[in-house]
Amino acid sequence: MSHEQMVEDESDARTNLIVNYLPQSMSQEELRSLFSSVGEVESAKLIRDKVAGHSLGYGFVNFVNPNDAERAISTLNGLRLQSKTIKVSFARPSSDMIKDANLYISGLPRNLSQQDLEDMFSRFGHIINSRVLVDQASGLSRGVAFIRFDKRAEAEDAVKHLNGNVPPGSSEPITVKFAANPNQARNSQMVSQMYHGQSRRFGGPVHHQAQRFRFSPMSVDHSSGGGGSSGNGSGGWCIFIYNLGQDADEAILWQMFGPFGAVVNVKVIRDFNTNKCKGFGFVTMSNYEEAAMAIHNLNGYRLGDKVLQVSFKTSKGHK
């Protein structure tokens, strides 16, 4: 269920709110009681990962009375909860006007904060949420971010004005483009580059290795991690990591992929007799953009004395 899955019924449009940036530990009951302090809540729903069950950090609250919904926005939007500042806004009707309003921005100055980013883009329209990707080791920005606008037209406006622009205090132009949408994954340029480019480039060695290792049916079953044969089953997007060292374990994969977004599960394939890593593993991530970002950053990454090959898990014959 995505942030865009919104209100079907017109009458809900003035009472149904989307709440973003909720603390990871917040429960649906706590969400409900927070908003009940403003007025009578008809329903509150915290969105959870279908497979792992953890909170995805956002939810919907539907009030009985439209006035209470407006008051909830004015009193609770911007409230600090734990380390998060929550964002409360009307959940939008699902229509073509609002689809695909998510932008991918790269080449940003490393010292740019999330607030600076929103300041730079806010003149183009209402920002639903934004995210600057941070390097976990150094705590510094990776120079890459995502911004979701309320409407497609606002996002188009931002692309038109800011793509190729040099931000104040920087010497490099930034790239602003539409983020690939998982539903159009097959025909989006970003994916075709990744999917076909990488799987073909590494197809040879990877498939030989897999045959030589002779998967037991059990390990195949686990390794797909619910990721489905093409890497985007209901469980998320399955990523294949090749050329891991013998001592690689699940913790290393969590550490490497965690900074990019929600990781559903990780699996290192081990030799049955020695229990050493056989050189490859799988990571399933729930969000396509984050998975694509992780692949983009980690393919070619040097871990110990090995250079990793990271790509979407593809299956032969399912084109």
Q: What is the DSSP letter of 206?
A: H
Q: Residue 134 to residues 151, 194, 295: CA-CA distances in angstroms?
A: 26, 22, 15
Q: Where are the beta strands (DSSP E) in 73-181?
A: 80-81, 84-85, 87-90, 102-106, 127-134, 141-149, 175-178
Mean pLDDT of 42-64: 88
**Residue 88, φ and ψ in degrees, nearest 5:** -120, 125
Is the pLDDT at 95 greater than 70? The verdict is no
Q: Please provide the distance, in angstroms rounded to a whole number, between the alpha carbons at the two ends of the chain.
A: 25
Q: Which residue has the higher pLDDT, 212 or 246?
A: 246
Architecture of domain 96-181: 2-Layer Sandwich (3.30)
Mean pLDDT of 58-65: 93
Q: How many C-beta atoms surround the C-beta of residue 126 within 10 A?
A: 13
CATH class of this structure's domain 237-312: alpha beta
Mean pLDDT of 284-312: 86
Question: How far is residue 39 CA from its own chain's centroid?
Answer: 33
Give the model's pLDDT for residue 167. 87
Give the residue ranges of DSSP H helices in 112-216: 114-121, 152-162, 189-192, 199-213
CA distance 189 to 75: 42
Most confident of 5-9, 16-20, 125-129: 16-20
CA distance 81 to 91: 21
**Residue 6, φ and ψ in degrees, nearest 5:** -120, -145
CA distance 62 to 90: 10
Give the model's pLDDT for residue 92. 67
Question: How far is residue 91 CA from its own chain's centroid?
Answer: 20
For residue 315, what pLDDT band results from cuts at 50, 70 and 90?
Answer: low
Give the model's pLDDT for residue 42. 93
Tokens 């990962």 belong to: 49
Closest CA to 293 of 133, 54, 57, 101: 133
CA distance 34 to 46: 13
State if pTM tops 0.75: no
Give the model's pLDDT for residue 151. 82
Domain-wise residue ranges, the chain: 16-90, 96-181, 237-312
Q: Mean pLDDT across the chain, nearest whole number?
A: 76
Mean pLDDT of 281-292: 89
Is the pLDDT at 248 greater than 80? The verdict is yes
Quick check: do 16-90 and 96-181 share a fold?
yes
Tokens 């709440």 belong to: 19
Contacts of 203 (CB under 8 A, 6+ apart): none
CA distance 259 to 294: 9
For residue 173, what pLDDT band results from cuts at 50, 70 and 90?
Answer: very high
Q: Which residue has the higher pLDDT, 155 or 84?
A: 155
Closest CA to 227 of 198, 256, 264: 264
Predicted confidence (pLDDT) per residue in 188-239, tens digit: 333 333 333 333 333 333 333 333 333 333 333 333 333 333 344 457 889 9
Does the domain made of 16-90 have the CATH classification 3.30.70.330?
A: yes
